[in-house]
């Protein structure tokens, strides 16, 4: 009887909580965007009122603003190994406000009694605001004028470093990065039509990521989430950068591992990007509908993770083990491109002139990513100890490394940079050096180097980052461009069997 009475009180408490607690956006009747101080206060309130939630500060922005993570768990977060761990983070770009607002709506939604069953199987971490500096100014970049969603490889910004430390602590099986897309550019106006989906979803596209995970993403999750969002009276489709007219190259989004989705995906995580429709005139345009659409998409990911917990956990565990034991493909693709396989794509668009919906069929849909240049996967890389910028990078990624002791069977190779050309990478030109490989096994002093083995979770990332011909590697960033010098040796060495 006492137990029944306690459950009744808990139910009434939860009902009162969901009725009494409003997000800052709701309090303003959807007329004012949430400030960082208002977000901080709201998170403190829900933390104080609900035993389901705990919160912590995991980083501070360049301008000193706190970044919060909200944990949902029935028990101590991350301790129950039977549960699936899910991470969602929003608003890396400060002028994409609906992800933050949708995240706060999601907190209230998850505290409703009818949704708390999710945490029988899920430990969920939510970062509602990744870029508080940019959010306060309604600007894309952070306080250091850096694009956070181009920083996940080099890890120089405190917000992104903190996020990866959070990931490393719990090794989430499922992640999603929440953004907004803006289809109102000049090319769309010239064409006369623009996309108008409430939510667009992108799955992992880098072909070095487990094929099984990519198949699960495209064959199972995307059909589920499109249907789920539609049932809630919002529209959804693939996230497709590149324009909508026949003259433009329509494709799935980037395979670069420097963004939130692929940086976790390359560790064989089931990882997604969600891009809601931005406001055409301002970040406040239609914000109620936009925020609710983002919330629905995030809730859908949790429901999919709940329904498919065992399959996802088993697959992610097995594919990560392959990376850690180096039981994976002997080749790593370091230059890639988008190609058409003849698939035609039907797009629902809106006319700029009439406002009416229309459907176009595009035959210029580049739906397949293929390798342009592979390298053999080595045992690992030798980094000169005096190359502090690279050893610091390894530390930021929490890579395993140690002093090198040369093995009898090992072969050490060095690249010589014969020339430095360029290659088109998704519309941008990046360096593409000519290289010649030589055997230097008996020419180096082992004590001058640390050894980064590839048999760890970031196996593919290490190879992609450190190869000089990688169009996604460190040498494409200003901080590391000095590693490439025409007519000189590349200082990072390969260790092979």
Within a domain: 469 = yes
CATH number for the domain including 87? 3.40.630.10
User: 312 near 270, Cβ under 8 Å?
Assistant: yes
Residue ranges of E strands in 440-481: 449-453
What is the model's pLDDT at position 352? 83
Tell me: do 113 and 202 sit in the same domain.
Answer: yes
Structure tokens at 59: 């980083």
Instruction: Classify strands 270-277 and 174-181 as parallel, antiparallel or unpaired.
Output: parallel
User: 365 near 251, Cβ under 8 Å?
Assistant: yes
Residue ranges of E strands in 103-196: 122-127, 174-181, 193-195
Instruction: Supply the pTM of this predicted model.
Output: 0.94
| Count of structural domains, the chain | 2
Within a domain: 369 = no
Last residue of a domain, one of 324, 339, 354: 324
Q: What is residue 175's three-state secondary structure?
A: strand
Nearest to 86 by CA among 299, 294, 237: 299
Tell me: do 320 and 421 sit in the same domain.
Answer: no
For residue 94, what are the contacts with CB-CB under 8 A and spacing of at least 6? 131, 133, 134, 135, 136, 137, 138, 139, 140, 141, 142
User: 54 near 71, Cβ under 8 Å?
Assistant: yes
What is the model's pLDDT at position 463? 98
Tell me: do 137 and 248 sit in the same domain.
Answer: yes
Instruction: Please give the Cα distance from 198 to 322 (Å, whole number).
Output: 37
Tell me: do 188 and 50 sit in the same domain.
Answer: yes
Tell me: do 229 and 90 sit in the same domain.
Answer: yes
Q: What is residue 225's three-state secondary structure?
A: helix
What is the model's pLDDT at position 185? 80
What is the model's pLDDT at position 14? 47
Last residue of a domain, one of 324, 344, 361: 324
Spans of the chain below 50 pLDDT: 1-10, 12-18
Within a domain: 450 = yes
Tell me: do 301 and 386 sit in the same domain.
Answer: no
For residue 151, what are the contacts with CB-CB under 8 A and spacing of at least 6? 157, 160, 258
Tell me: do 30 and 113 sit in the same domain.
Answer: yes
Within a domain: 100 = yes
Within a domain: 120 = yes
Tell me: do 160 and 277 sit in the same domain.
Answer: yes
Within a domain: 426 = yes
Tell me: do 92 and 212 sit in the same domain.
Answer: yes
User: 68 near 129, Cβ under 8 Å?
Assistant: yes
Q: What angle do CA 372, 376, 381 make, to 5 degrees?
A: 120
Tell me: do 384 and 451 sit in the same domain.
Answer: yes
Longest C-alpha distance within the chain, in Å? Answer: 83
C-alpha distance from residue 382 to each of 5, 374, 445, 454, 459 (Å): 65, 20, 11, 11, 15
Within a domain: 334 = no
Last residue of a domain, one of 279, 301, 324: 324
Phi first, then psi: what are they for 397, rounded to 5°? -85, 0
Q: Which domain holds residue 476?
A: 378-496
Tell me: do 397 and 318 sit in the same domain.
Answer: no
User: 122 near 86, Cβ under 8 Å?
Assistant: yes
Tell me: do 390 and 264 sit in the same domain.
Answer: no
Tens-digit pLDDT profile for residues 403-449: 998 877 899 999 999 999 999 999 899 999 999 999 999 999 989 99
Question: Left, alpha or beta for 233 (phi > 0: left; psi -120 to 50: alpha)?
Answer: left
Within a domain: 340 = no
């Amino acid at each position: 009887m006492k137990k029944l009475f306690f459950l009744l009180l808990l139910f009434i408490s939860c009902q009162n909580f969901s009725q009494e607690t409003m997000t800052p956006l709701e309090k303003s009747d959807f007329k004012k965007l949430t400030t960082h101080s208002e977000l901080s206060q709201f998170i403190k309130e829900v933390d104080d009122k609900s035993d389901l939630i705990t919160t912590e500060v995991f980083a501070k922005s360049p301008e000193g603003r706190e970044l919060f993570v909200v944990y949902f768990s029935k028990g101590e977060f991350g301790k129950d190994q039977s549960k699936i761990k899910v991470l969602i983070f929003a608003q890396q770009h400060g002028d994409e406000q609906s992800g933050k607002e949708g995240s706060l709506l999601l907190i209230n939604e998850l505290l409703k009694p009818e949704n708390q069953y999710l945490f029988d199987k899920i430990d969920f971490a939510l970062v509602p605001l990744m870029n508080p500096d940019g959010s306060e100014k309604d600007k894309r970049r952070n306080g250091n004028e850096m694009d956070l969603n181009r920083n996940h490889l080099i890890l120089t910004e405190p917000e992104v470093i903190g996020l990866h430390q959070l990931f490393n602590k719990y090794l989430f099986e499922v992640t999603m990065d929440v953004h907004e897309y803006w289809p109102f550019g000049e090319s769309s106006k010239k064409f006369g039509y623009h996309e108008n989906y409430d939510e667009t979803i992108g799955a992992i596209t880098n072909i070095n990521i487990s094929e099984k995970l990519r198949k699960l993403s495209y064959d199972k999750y995307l059909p589920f989430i499109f249907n789920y969002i539609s049932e809630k009276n919002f529209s959804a489709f693939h996230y497709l950068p590149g324009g909508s007219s026949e003259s433009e190259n329509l494709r799935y989004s980037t395979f670069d591992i420097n963004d939130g989705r692929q940086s976790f995906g390359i560790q064989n995580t089931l990882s997604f990007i969600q891009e809601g429709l931005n406001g055409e005139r301002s970040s406040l345009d239609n914000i109620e509908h936009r925020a609710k659409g983002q919330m629905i998409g995030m809730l859908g990911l949790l429901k999919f993770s709940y329904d498919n917990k065992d399959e996802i956990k088993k697959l992610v565990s097995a594919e990560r083990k392959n990376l850690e034991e180096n039981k994976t493909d002997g080749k790593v693709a370091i230059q890639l491109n988008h190609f058409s396989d003849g698939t035609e794509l039907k797009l629902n668009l809106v006319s700029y002139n009439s406002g009416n919906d229309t459907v176009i069929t595009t035959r210029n849909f580049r739906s397949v990513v293929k390798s342009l240049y592979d390298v053999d996967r080595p045992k690992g890389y030798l980094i000169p100890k005096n190359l502090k910028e690279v050893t610091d990078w390894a530390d930021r990624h929490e890579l395993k490394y140690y002093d090198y002791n040369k093995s009898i069977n090992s072969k050490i190779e060095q690249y010589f940079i014969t020339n430095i050309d360029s290659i088109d990478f998704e519309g941008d030109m990046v360096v593409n050096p000519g290289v010649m490989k030589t055997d230097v096994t008996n020419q180096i002093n082992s004590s001058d180097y640390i050894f980064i083995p590839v048999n760890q979770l970031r196996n593919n990332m290490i190879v992609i980052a450190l190869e000089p011909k990688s169009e996604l590697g460190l040498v494409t960033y200003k901080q590391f461009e000095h590693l490439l010098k025409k007519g000189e040796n590349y200082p990072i060495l390969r260790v092979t069997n």
